[in-house]
Amino acid sequence: LTDNVTSVFLLGFSNLQNFTFLFFSLLVLLYCGTISGNLLIMVLYLVSKTLQSPMYFFITQLSLCDLLLTTDIVPVLLHTVLYGGSSITLIECIIQYSIFAASECSECLLLSVMSYDRYVAICNPLRYPSIMNHTTCVTSVHIIWLMGCILALINVLLIYNLSFCGRQVIDHYFCDTEPIMRLFCSEISILHNLLMGSLVAVLPFVIIVTSYVYIVIAILKIPSNTGRHKAFSTCSSHLIVVTIFYGTIIIVYMIPTRGESLTLSKFLSLIYTVLTPLLNPIIYTLRNKDFIAAFQKLKSFVLFE
């Protein structure tokens, strides 16, 4: 960045000034719920022997992604809402964008690995322990986080040497891809979206869809209704999370954002930056007997210790 630009201004939600306190209070509640829910999942996994399986290991990594994303976005969002905008340094903006890109890239890759885990569990249960062993799970997670960091670094390097066009205002509540691209003179947003979209979103999504095609075929071959229901229940939570996450991502990044659609895009992006990290622990634990049993055991230990 060769320009003498040291800071940018986040506009946030300028059309919600009459509801500042209500919106701020709601965001604080959602933020507290997200932190509490995801930390609880991680604690339960660490202290409960019944949760020591690949599926729950990947869920804790998803919680870590959500915690990283939430702590990166929401504090700045709260400041922006409370004060009607927020001025941050260019370095802070790049750091926020880098963490956001790394967590989103990692989550896309993690969701695809989780779908493969469910595929092996349902379609090849006898070989599941040998395929999804501890070494495989840990190695895959290391690769996921490494890829997330590398892709985030590529994002930063793509924009680092670009020149500003004089605009230092970001019409958003955080340093997202498209708003940042509008600050620069170079027209690389289409190329950037194609590159990152194919690497980060499309390829993992293809893996997820392929896995679930085989899962559905395998479930339909199960003779008993009880067996089919049990098999489907093991992957239904993951399917819901994938639908919410990818559905929002597709709408936000594939629809051109101009005028009113830009405002809509900001509200929709709240789903994957604020709401999804809150919903993930709820979706994965609400009907999960193992998590409920582990929570009851932990609660009894804390109360009677």
Measured distance CA(59)–CA(38) in Å, rounded? 10
Q: Are strands 169-170 and 86-89 parallel, antiparallel or unpaired?
A: unpaired
What's the length of the chain?
A: 305
Give the model's pLDDT for residue 195: 59
Q: Is residue 1 one of the residues assigned to a domain? A: no
Low-confidence ranges of the chain (pLDDT < 70): 1-5, 160-167, 185-199, 253-262, 303-305
> How many other C-beta atoms can be found within 10 angstroms of the C-beta atom of residue 208?
23
- Tally of structural domains, the chain: 1
Kindly report the CA angle at 263 between 159 and 173, in degrees rounded to 5?
50
Q: What token pair was written down for 165?
A: 């066009």
Q: Is residue 154 one of the residues assigned to a domain? A: yes
H helix count then E strand count, the chain:
12, 3
Measured distance CA(54)–CA(266) in Å, rounded? 35
Give the model's pLDDT for residue 65: 94
Give the model's pLDDT for residue 261: 58
> Residue 46 burial by CB count (10 A; 0-12/13-18/19+): exposed, middle or buried?
exposed
Measured distance CA(132)–CA(99) in Å, rounded? 29
Give the model's pLDDT for residue 89: 87
> How many other C-beta atoms can be found within 10 angstroms of the C-beta atom of residue 270?
17
Measured distance CA(211)–CA(148) in Å, rounded? 22
Q: Is residue 119 one of the residues assigned to a domain? A: yes
Q: What token pair was written down for 15?
A: 């059309």
> Residue 88 burial by CB count (10 A; 0-12/13-18/19+): exposed, middle or buried?
buried
| Domain CATH for 111 | 1.20.1070.10
Give the model's pLDDT for residue 255: 61
Measured distance CA(2)–CA(136) in Å, rounded? 44
**Encoded amino acid at 29, one letter:** L
Q: Is residue 109 one of the residues assigned to a domain? A: yes
Give the model's pLDDT for residue 167: 67
Q: Is residue 2 one of the residues assigned to a domain? A: no
* Residues 244, 62 contacting (CB under 8 angstroms): no
Measured distance CA(71)–CA(89) in Å, rounded? 18
243: Cβ–Cβ under 8 A, 6 or more apart, which residues? none
Give the model's pLDDT for residue 68: 94
What is each CA distance from 183 to 23, 88, 164, 190, 269, in whole angstroms?
28, 15, 6, 15, 19
Domain with 246 in it: 7-304
